[in-house]
Amino acid sequence: MPPPHPLRPHAVPTVAYFRACQSSLNRRIIDVAAVLLLFVYGLVLLFQARLGIFGNIYNIVSFKTIFYTITIYVPLALLVIARKALMTVERSVQPSLLMSIFAHLADARTWTLLGLYMLSGLVIGVSYFSMHGEKYVKSVFLYPEGKHGAAQLSEQIIFIVLHNLGLGAAYGIYHLVQERYYLRFPVIQQTQSWAIKGRLPTVAANSARFAGYAFAAAYVVFFFFGRMIYRYQAGFLGYFITILRSPVIRFRWFDFHLFFRTFLNGMFAATCWELVDQIFDVFFTEPTYVSDEVADSNGCLASGLKLADKPYFRALAFLELWNISKYNKQRRTILFCDILSAPTAWQQVSCECMKVVNELTVELENEFKKPEEGSSNGTLPVPDSRPTQHTTGGNKLSAVSTNIFLTKNKTSLLDKLKDPAPPPRIDAAAGSSASEAVPNIFRKSERAPSLQPDNFLFESPPRQQPTSLLTEEAKRQGVEYTKKQLHDAVVLLKGHLEGRAWGRILLANTIERRTRHLFRNLQVQIWAIEALSCLTAASYREDEYGSVQRDIPKVIECLLACLMAIEAYLQRPPLGPGAGGIKTNPHQMLMREPHAVVQGTFLCDSFGRGL
């Protein structure tokens, strides 16, 4: 049982960091859902506001407002769940743009996310027009010849549905391209209310701009393909009801009332989606201090630093350690004074930090050595196709060790037929020969072994290969054939793309992509380096037992090795500015990730000349 905490004598017993942080994560998802519900309620009131005061007061408690709030909130809650499933603190960078596109297309979560955005856009659009009582969504069919005549589809509602589905698909693609699922922890931490308040102007500006682009795109698409869309829908519904294949009541291309409502509808939807992302980021990037709530705070924090299979919880642990190393003197003192445990708290924390730094150093060194194995531009060496030059000429005489005057035994063809040579032994792995398959009719037949009764009764015939094994072999051959066909198709596609400028852009493995891949866990790497530096510098005045002093050479060696690897990478990157056929000015190349790590690699001059 560890001793009571000197700062919190009533702290709860020791628990693992994951268990303590899991309860905090559950509270955060509930807070996100509650805050989002309040914002949706406020948006419903805002977008149905009128000039009169009494009407707006009535809308606050009206059943219509509550109904549309719940209707719009349900698909947004599904988006929050999808965002939680997709969130990550480590980037997944593909070698090229084409591979990134294929990776997103092959991921089922991509299609699920796009489907949820399209569903949410459709629900928000219909709800917005319905809450204002617009005639455009009251009926899908129009009757130009009267109620007893043939019906036609309403082109206005087709335009509204097309706009909202396209709006949802476009925002889903924007969400994936901008990597909104990647959690970016802010450097300056604010309270939740101030952080959300500071992001509201950005939300409004982005929503208005996105809604304008979406409306313009929907208008252009419907102008060129509206008639075709109508014919396909009418042709499908014609199997069930009588419907006109060509509309009589046409779409008005200058219906400003419809266009203004459509723009506000798009802005409403985009604002809801932006709020989902911003509120989620505010709550899930907030630092946690769960180790302060347990008795063995150092052991709890060290267990969180070791959660390699849970990147989000590990990132929260490194963020907490970074805050402690820079701003919390009392916790640093507790960490330095923990010398009774084996290993000590400093040894556990420094070991995990140096492990992160050493992994980055090794990856940088391996990436820097790759071009040396091939050509100067990072490609594999081309084998020499010239013929091999032999040392011995073709017409030059050479001595032999055999007797060339010895007469050879001559055998006639009849003797070979009467007494043939034994068939060659072929290994089972090499296969069977033709001489074994054809019998020799000139060989004297040997006496066939007699079948004894016991052999006849008790010996079983040779067993045939099971059908399941044959089926598995056929499946394996089919899979291999499919892989070969896919490989040939990929090679053919690559050959076509390499011959075009836009194809080389899709296939290019640029230095920016390789740098982002190396620093894919940039936030944790910076926190580990700065925490290690700050703790080592603070130990000069706060480490009473000197537990850090004997590890200072290891810390300096680790940080300097990482710094030297980054400097070598920046001076001579493995891919030049023209890699992949893309011409780039080397003076315009800016690799932010290495410079951010270099700024965190420091040691204060706390030790003076004694260092």
pLDDT at position 608, please? 53
In whole angstroms, give the CA distance from residue 478 to residue 482. Answer: 6
In whole angstroms, give the CA distance from residue 23 to residue 30. Answer: 11
Tell me 12's DSSP state. Answer: B
Cα(first)–Cα(last) distance of the chain, in Å? 38
Residues 114-139: what's their mean pLDDT?
A: 91
More confident residue, 463 or 375: 463
Q: Mind listing the pLDDT tens digit for each residue in 522-533? A: 999 999 999 999
Strand (E) or helix (H) holding 16: none
> Taking 70 as the threshold, does the pLDDT of residue 386 lie above it?
no
Give the pLDDT band of residue 305 (cuts 50, 70, 90).
Answer: very high
Q: Is 608 left (phi over 0), alpha (psi -120 to 50) or beta?
A: left
In whole angstroms, give the CA distance from residue 211 to residue 174. Answer: 13
User: What type of residue is 104?
Assistant: H
Contact indicator for 371, 379 with CB cutoff of 8 Å: no
Query: If you average pLDDT over each of 110-119, 178-187, 471-480, 537-546, which comes out highest?
Result: 110-119
Numbers of helices and strands, H then E, in the chain: 21, 2
> Taking 80 as the threshold, does the pLDDT of residue 317 lie above it?
yes
Contact indicator for 368, 569 with CB cutoff of 8 Å: yes
Q: What is the largest CA-CA distance in the chain?
A: 127
Q: Mind listing the pLDDT tens digit for each residue in 425-467? A: 444 444 444 444 444 544 444 444 444 444 444 445 555 555 6
Give the pLDDT band of residue 502 (cuts 50, 70, 90).
Answer: confident
More confident residue, 510 or 601: 510
pLDDT at position 354, please? 94
Closest CA to 348 of 17, 1, 114: 17
Percent of the chain with pLDDT over 70: 75
Q: Mind listing the pLDDT tens digit for each residue in 165-215? A: 999 999 999 999 998 989 999 888 888 899 999 999 999 999 999 999 999
In whole angstroms, give the CA distance from residue 79 to residue 73. Answer: 10
pLDDT at position 465, please? 53
Contact indicator for 301, 317 with CB cutoff of 8 Å: yes
pLDDT at position 73, please? 96
> Taking 70 as the threshold, does the pLDDT of residue 585 lie above it?
no
> Taking 90 as the threshold, does the pLDDT of residue 400 lie above it?
no
Give 134: exposed, middle or buried? Use CB within 10 Å, 0-12, 13-18, 19+.
middle
pLDDT at position 2, please? 43
Q: Which residue has the tokens 């081309």?
A: 382
Contact indicator for 377, 576 with CB cutoff of 8 Å: yes
Alpha helices in 238-255 (DSSP H): none
| Candidate from 44-48, 545-549, 599-603 with smallest mean pLDDT | 599-603
Q: Which residue has the tokens 């499919």?
A: 482
- Residue 150, CA distances (Å) to 142, 228, 246 in order: 9, 20, 11
Domain ranges of the chain: 17-89+96-284, 296-372+508-610, 473-507
- Residue 433, CA distances (Å) to 438, 441, 443 in order: 9, 18, 18
> Taking 60 as the threshold, does the pLDDT of residue 220 lie above it?
yes
Give the pLDDT band of residue 340 (cuts 50, 70, 90).
Answer: confident
Contact indicator for 573, 565 with CB cutoff of 8 Å: no
Burial 274-298 (b: 16+ CB within 10 A, else e): bbbbbbbbbbbbbebbbbbbbbbbb
Percent of the chain with pLDDT over 90: 34
> Taking 50 as the threshold, does the pLDDT of residue 573 lie above it?
yes
Give the pLDDT band of residue 7 (cuts 50, 70, 90).
Answer: very low
Give the pLDDT band of residue 593 (cuts 50, 70, 90).
Answer: confident
Reduced to 3 states, what is the DSSP secondary structure of residue 105? helix
Query: If you average pLDDT over each of 274-278, 389-393, 482-486, which comes out highest?
Result: 274-278
pLDDT at position 462, please? 53
More confident residue, 130 or 56: 130
Which pTM value belongs to this model?
0.76
Contact indicator for 132, 261 with CB cutoff of 8 Å: yes
Token pair of 341 as six digits: 């445990």
> Taking 90 as the threshold, does the pLDDT of residue 349 lie above it?
yes
Q: Mind listing the pLDDT tens digit for each residue in 280-292? A: 999 999 988 887 7
Contact indicator for 155, 250 with CB cutoff of 8 Å: yes
Tell me 583's DSSP state. Answer: -
pLDDT at position 112, please? 93
Q: What is the mean pLDDT of the chain?
A: 79
Closest CA to 264 of 120, 132, 137, 140: 132
pLDDT at position 470, please? 60
